[in-house]
Amino acid sequence: MSTSTSARRPHSLRQLRSLALTPLLAAALFLGLGGAPVSGTAASTGSPPGSSSASAVTIDAKPVSTTPLRLQGLSLTAAQVGKWYRWGAAGPTYFDCSGLVYYVYHTRLHRYLPRTANAQRLATTRIYKSNILPGDLVFFMSNGRAYHVGVYAGYGKVWHAPRPGQRVQLSRIWTSAWVAGRVR
């Protein structure tokens, strides 16, 4: 193989790569995926797109979580499985029922949520039992007040910190006296 052939090969690869990208770039520009015009570019100065003025495209990319908040909450709650119950504790090592929910939504997901079960019930958006989804909160009621809270896991089960001597666990909902709430 001569040196002129090997010298041409990288050049031809570059041409092929640029030809492969051309339709993609054309489609992105056609769909308007290039972002807003930057001041001083051809688009903002009124120059035609093919003119000799240099143009730069700035894309503001912000990390976006596509996972709904309630599913993030469910995942974080399930990750606490096996940690011991301790009255008044709000993690990360020990939890009571409302401390578990507070730790997940307030401390880890940075959503406003009070510390006690009944205050958490009042701070969430009330939803019908028929509309409950995994990650929503389940408040167990007595005399119009929430005395216990857990995170709905689906299929009639909740993640919760039950009582002294037990650990964070997945349990079946044991009563019909409960209401559901969604963290805003």
The predicted structure's pLDDT at residue 6? 47
Higher local confidence (pLDDT), 12 or 128: 128
The DSSP secondary-structure symbol of 143 reads T
Q: Please tell me the distance from the alpha carbon of residue 163 to that of residue 183, in angstroms, as a whole number.
A: 24
For 96-125, the pLDDT digits (tens) are: 999 999 999 999 999 999 999 999 999 999
Predicted local distance difference test score (pLDDT) of residue 164: 95
Segment 157-167 mean pLDDT: 97
Domain spans in the chain, listed from the N-terminal domain onward: 3-45, 69-182
Q: Is the pLDDT of residue 181 over 80?
A: yes
Determine whether 97 is an active site residue.
yes
Q: Mean pLDDT in the chain?
A: 81
Q: Is the pTM of this model over 0.75?
A: no
Residue 162 pLDDT > 60: yes
- Residue 84 confidence (pLDDT): 97
**What is the pLDDT at residue 55?**
60
- Alpha carbons 50 and 72: distance in angstroms, whole number: 47
User: What are the CB-based long-range contacts (under 8 Å, 24+) for 149-153?
Assistant: 149/97, 149/98, 149/101, 149/117, 149/120, 149/121, 150/97, 150/101, 151/73, 151/74, 151/77, 151/100, 151/101, 151/104, 152/74, 152/180, 153/74, 153/78
pLDDT recorded at residue 125: 97
Asked whether residue 19 carries a pLDDT value surpassing 80, the answer given is: no
Is 106 noted as a catalytic residue in this protein? no
CATH 3.40.640.10 for domain 69-182: no
88 vs 49, higher pLDDT = 88
Q: In what order do the strands lie in the sheet with 137-142?
A: 125-127, 178-182, 137-142, 145-154, 157-160, 169-172
Please indicate whether residue 160 is annotated as part of the active site. yes
Q: Is the pLDDT of residue 18 over 90?
A: no
